[in-house]
Structure formats: C-alpha cells, structure tokens
Amino acid sequence: MLLHACCGPCSLEPVRLLREAGTEPVIYYANSNIQPEEEYARRLETLAFWAQDEALEVIEGAYDSQAWEASVGRIGEAAREKHGVIIHEASNDPLTKEAPEGTPDEAEAARRARCRACYRLRFEETARYAAEHGFESIGTTLSVSPYQYTGIIREELERAAAQAGVEARFADYRPYYDNATTRSREAGMYRQNYCACRFSEEEARVEREMRKIARKATKESLRAQKAQAQAAEEKARAESRAEKAAYADKQARKRAILKQLREQK
C-alpha cells in the first residue's frame, strides 16, 4: 500500500492502525501545496526522522509549487478576490468542525472547491506513482485532521485510484486525532498550525485571532457576571444588617418604655 502522507504527526495513527491490521505501508510525501518551501522541507524532515525509527520507507514526490499554483492556486486566488479570507465557523468540538456538506454559503463552497482541487492533484500523483511501481492500493493520512473535508478526501481518493487502476483504501482517522496530538507532542515532533498553502496560512491566522477575541469576550462576560453576583450578595448582606439594626432599635425602645412604666408605678 502506498500511503499518501501530509506530515509526521498525521502519519502516527494511520501507520499504527495499518500495521495492527497487517498492512505494511510505504509513505508517499506528495505535497506541492506546502508553502513556503522551507515549511515543506521542515515537515518532510520531521516525517523522515520519525519514519527512520519506525523502519518505514518514505518516498518523496516532486515538489512542484508552480503546477499547484497553475491549478489550485488559480482557484484559490479567484475565491480570495471574491470573498476575501474564508474562515470556518467556530466550533469547540473538533469532530464536528468540518463545514457541513451542501452548505449554501458561497464562500465556504469556494474554499471547498479549492481544497478538492488540492486533494485531486496530490492523490492523482500518488495513484499514478502507485500504478507505475506495482502498489496494489493507496490511502491517505489527510483524514486524521478534523479541519479537512473528509467527505471530499474520500471522493477524490477513490476517483484517483479508479483512474489509475489501483484500490482506494480510505479510512476516517478523525477519532484518532487526539491520540495523534498527544503522541506527536510527547515525541517532540514539529507541529504546524496551518494546513499548508498560502491561503490556509492566512485563514488560520484570522481564525486564531477570532478565537482569541471570542475567548476575551467570554472572559469579560464571566467577569461581569461575577461582579453582578458579588454586588447582589453585598446588597443582600446590607439589607440583612439594616433589618437586624431596625429590630435591635425596636427592642431597645420597647425596653425603655417598659422601664419608664415600671418607674411610674
């Protein structure tokens, strides 16, 4: 099996699961989408370093950012011009973070189309290489990430495999995302904070900023609620003090009247 891999952290769990199921994959690093080139090299280095320890073979595809720009970049540029930076809706649950299929939102559809073209380019390259070098099947580690379009990844993997005459072995690895995160952190692996292309770098930056603003607003609202609760408590305490004082005053007056009456007898 030729396993298309986007990076080291995303390869951890698919390789473990495949090996447990009795398949020994060969990793294929075909990622002309990664920008800048230093980032491409850094992700490859992280992957290769880990793979060496695991006795896994890694094959590097051609890094052709011009080809990526000519197809995917063109689509992304048109979408960027029309919609600006396209951001996903915020969600706290990574497993539901994928934008819903069939969304009427035009900007989201444009981002989806860009990513579809990006998957297509990389999977076609993977499938071609697999067919030419005697691999029976292809798979991908892209479906580890809950931030990707899992449904489209599956469609494009199957499409590319059928075209090249190999088997598509798609698996939804999103339930293993947390494991992958923990394992890669423990292993001290480099973990990128954006998908790969220049559009995603900008989108991730804006999304991070928006999450920061949302966190700040939540914190401020909690602080205001706490202050309100403290003020209400303080008011209740003051009322109780006033009530006690009024009662004590009344009792003192009562005692004074009784004393006066006793003295008059």
Q: DSSP string covering 158-176, please?
A: HHHHHHHT-EE-----GGG
Q: Which residues contact 112 (CB under 8 A, 6 or more apart)?
A: 99, 149, 152
Residue 118 near ligand SF4 by CB under 6 A: yes
Task: Please state, in angstroms and rounded to a whole number, the distance separating the CA atoms of residues 167 and 136.
Answer: 6
- Identify the residue among 47, 110, 115, 171 touching ligand SF4 (CB under 6 A): 115
Residue 62 corresponds to which tokens in the numbers above?
């051609």
| Residue 184 vs 200, nearer CB to ligand SF4 | 200
| Residue 171 vs 197, nearer CB to ligand SF4 | 197
Report DSSP state, residue 134.
Answer: T
Residue 79 near ligand SF4 by CB under 6 A: no
| Residue 135 vs 207, nearer CB to ligand SF4 | 207
Residue 196 near ligand SF4 by CB under 6 A: yes
CB 1 within 8 A of CB 138: yes
Residue 30 near ligand SF4 by CB under 6 A: no
- 19 C-beta neighbours (distance < 10 Å), count: 13
| Residue 46 vs 140, nearer CB to ligand SF4 | 140
Query: Smallest Cα–Cα separation from 172: which of 17, 32, 6?
Result: 17
CB 163 within 8 A of CB 152: no
The region of 8-16, 90-98, 112-120, 131-139 touching ligand SF4 under the rule CB under 6 A is 112-120
Residue 169 near ligand SF4 by CB under 6 A: no
Binding mask 125-164 for ligand SF4 (x = CB under 6 A): ----------------------------------------
Residue 200 near ligand SF4 by CB under 6 A: yes
The least CB distance from residue 188 to ligand SF4, in Å, is 24
Q: Which residues contact 195 (CB under 8 A, 6 or more apart)?
A: 33, 145, 147, 148, 204
Residues that bind ligand SF4 (CB under 6 A): 33, 72, 114-115, 118, 195-197, 199-200
